[in-house]
């Protein structure tokens, strides 16, 4: 069974610090990787996606992918209380093909303390 | 652009009944996926439609079905409802299937 594993947390960081969220996946054929943010009572919001090994930066967010280690991470710089949410890692076999079934981890609860 | 819309937002049904949920994707998006979210199992993939064809399917029983119309709007149907079907049902749209954008969800309660 293809699995995506995340530390459930909660991960607690002070305001202004760097939050580091980690995710491992079992399917070596995975091609597409996504990070979603979900506030309590809301639906998931796509914040980052990455397809190639290395780092991808977007504002305060950096996604890192290491396919050899089957590991993807999300760094949030200058964390704000508004970043407090559950962060979901999702993995898909598809990239340019037609298999876009997303497998999600259970999520990591992040709390940013003022 | 307007986001993904789902109707109804909340639904209460009785065991044995059936239910139909609706999803309108972001304009121009041709792929619609459906997911079930529960506290115990998290987010699980149900199926994906692209240009009116089911392209991918998850591991759910045949009671769960869906379809997509020519305007990319999609519906999912659950027949013979069970208590365990109580969940948040999320629809996600995508231009091609890769980056998926979720709607607000339909909260289904089965009593």
> Is A98 in the B-facing interface, judged by CB distances under 8 Å?
yes
Q: Which of B86, B81, B85, B90 is nearest to B6 (CA)?
A: B90
Distance from CA of B81 to the nearest CA of A (A): 23
pLDDT tens per residue across span A33-75: 999 999 999 999 999 999 999 999 999 999 999 999 999 999 9
- Quickly state the pLDDT bin for B4 (edges 50, 70, 90): very high
Residue A96 gets which letter from DSSP?
S
pLDDT for A96 equals 52
Closest approach of chain B CAs to the CA of A108, in angstroms? Answer: 12
Write out chain B in H/E/C secondary structure.
CCCCEEECCEEEECCCCCEEEEEECCCCCCEEEEEEEECCCEEEEEEEEECCEEEEECCCCCCEEEEECCCCCEEEEECCCCHHHCEEEEEEEECCCCCCEECCCEEEEEC
Assign A24 to helix, strand or coil.
strand
pLDDT in tens, B47-105: 999 999 998 899 999 999 999 999 999 999 999 999 999 999 999 999 877 899 999 99
Cβ-count burial A43-58 (b if 16+ within 10 Å, e if not)? bbebbbbbeeeeeeee
CB-based contact B100 A102, cutoff 8 Å: yes
Closest partner residue to A43 (CB to CB) among B56, B99, B104 is: B104
């Amino acid at each position: 069974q293809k699995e995506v594993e995340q530390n459930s947390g909660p991960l607690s960081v002070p305001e202004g610090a760097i939050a580091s969220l980690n995710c491992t996946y079992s399917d070596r054929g995975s091609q597409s990787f996504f990070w979603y943010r979900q506030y309590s009572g809301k639906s998931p919001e796509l914040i980052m996606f990455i397809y190639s090994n290395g780092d991808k930066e977007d504002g305060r967010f950096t996604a890192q992918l290491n396919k050899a280690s089957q590991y993807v991470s999300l760094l949030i710089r200058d964390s704000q209380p508004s970043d407090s949410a559950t962060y979901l890692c999702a993995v898909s076999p598809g990239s340019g093909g037609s298999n876009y079934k997303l497998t999600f981890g259970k999520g990591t609860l992040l709390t940013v303390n003022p | 652009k307007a986001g993904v819309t789902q109707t109804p937002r909340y639904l209460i049904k009785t065991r044995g009944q059936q239910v139909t949920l609706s999803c309108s994707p972001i304009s121009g998006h041709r792929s619609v996926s459906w997911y079930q979210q529960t506290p115990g199992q998290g987010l699980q993939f149900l199926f994906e439609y692209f240009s009116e064809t089911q392209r991918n399917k998850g591991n759910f029983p045949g009671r769960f079905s869906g379809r997509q119309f020519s305007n990319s709007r999609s519906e999912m149907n659950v027949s013979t409802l069970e208590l365990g079907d109580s969940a948040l049902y999320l629809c996600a749209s995508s231009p091609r299937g890769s980056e998926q954008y979720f709607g607000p969800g339909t909260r289904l309660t089965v009593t």
